[in-house]
Structure formats: C-alpha cells, structure tokens
Amino acid sequence: MPIPLAPIIISALPTLLEMAYSNNARDTKIQEIEAHKHIETIKMELIKLEIEANTYKVQAQKEILQSLIDAATHAFDKKIDSFREAFIHSHALVEEHQKILLEEQQELRNKLFEDMSDSQFLSLNNRLSDVSGTLIDLKKVSSLMTMEFNQRVSDTYMDMDSTKFRLT
C-alpha cells in the first residue's frame, strides 16, 4: 500500500515555508549588507575624489599666487635697478664735477705763483676759495647721496622682506 504523501506534505508544509522564508530573509539580509558595503565604498570613493579635486584646486591657487609673487618680485627688482642706475648716474655727475673743480683748483694754485696785480691776486684767491668751498660741499653731497641711497635701498628691502613669502 502506498504511503499517502498528502498528509506528510501538509504537515511538513509549515516547516518548509518557514525554512524558505528564513532562507529568503537571510538572503535579503546578505543582499542588504552587500548593498550597504557597496554604498559605503562609493561614498569613500566620492570623498577621495573630493579630496583630490580640492588638492588640485589648492595647487592651482598656489601656482597663481606664486606667479603673482614672482611678478611682484620682478617689479621690485626692476625698481631697485632703476634706483641704482639713477644713483650711479647722479654720483658720476658729482664726481665729474669734482674732478673739473679739482683741476681748476690746481690751475688756480699754480697761477698764485705768477706775477700779477693785487686785484688779480685778490680775484684769483676769491675764486680759489669758492672752488675749495664748492669741493667741500660736493664731498658732503656725495656722502649724503650715498648714505641716503643705501638707507632707502635698505628700507625698501626690509619692507620687502617683511612681506615676502614663498609658497611651499
């Protein structure tokens, strides 16, 4: 006699359904965990991309700022070069004038020993005195020019150094 399967299947059906439901719930939970891991991985990649984008942005800003600093430094160097050239030219003019006056002074001193009238001697002596005074004044001017130039350059460099920075 055959064993009736229907009552066995009916009695096992709740257990089978429970097992199927349990397997389905477990599979769903595993899928949820995997989906959550995938979402977290995507979030981490997004964060990495944002960091990388910010790094490129900061690097670009740094390069722009460095080029501005380089341009300002170049302009500053040109300014100092202009100051230096003006000083050298002015100082050369003062030295040339001193040289001419020294030659005139020597000629006047040599003429003092020549035979001449009292009025000529007095005129020559006055001119010699004027030339000597002018030479003294030119030496003072030359010294003051040099000191002032050095001070201005020093002050300018100190101002530049206080604001100078390099991006690293």
- Residues 89-132 pLDDT 10s: 999 999 999 999 999 999 999 988 888 888 998 999 999 999 99
Domain for residue 92, yes or no? Answer: yes
pLDDT class for 163, splitting at 50, 70, 90? low
pLDDT at 168: 47
pLDDT at 152: 83
Residue at 100: amino acid letter: I
- Are 167 and 61 in contact, with CB atoms under 8 Å apart? no
Q: Does the pLDDT of residue 136 top 50, yes or no?
A: yes
Domain for residue 105, yes or no? Answer: yes
pLDDT at 159: 67
Q: From CA 112, how far away is CA 110, in angstroms rounded?
A: 5
3-state class (DSSP) for residue 149 = helix
pLDDT at 155: 79
Domain for residue 84, yes or no? Answer: yes
Residues whose CB falls within 8 Å of the CB of residue 95, separated by 6 or more in sequence, listed in order: 142
pLDDT at 93: 93
Domain for residue 53, yes or no? Answer: yes
Q: Which residue has the higher pLDDT, 143 or 25?
A: 143
Half-sphere exposure of 158 (CA within 13 A, CB side): 6
Percent of the chain with pLDDT over 90: 43
Q: Does the pLDDT of residue 58 top 90, yes or no?
A: yes
Domain for residue 27, yes or no? Answer: yes
Instruction: Determine the Cα angle at 106 with ends 104 and 107, to 5°.
Output: 65
- For the segment 75-100, the average pLDDT, to the nearest whole number, is 90
Domain for residue 155, yes or no? Answer: yes
- For the segment 39-65, the average pLDDT, to the nearest whole number, is 92
Q: From CA 5, how far away is CA 12, in angstroms rounded?
A: 10
pLDDT class for 138, splitting at 50, 70, 90? very high
Which residues span the domain enclosing 18? 5-163
Domain for residue 168, yes or no? Answer: no
Domain count of the fold of the chain: 1
Q: Note if the pTM is more than 0.85.
A: no
| Short-list 107, 96, 103, CA closest to 142 | 96
Tokens of 130: 């004027």
Share the mean pLDDT of the chain: 84
How far the first Cα of the chain sits from its last, in Å, is 94
Q: Does the pLDDT of residue 14 top 90, yes or no?
A: no
Domain for residue 85, yes or no? Answer: yes
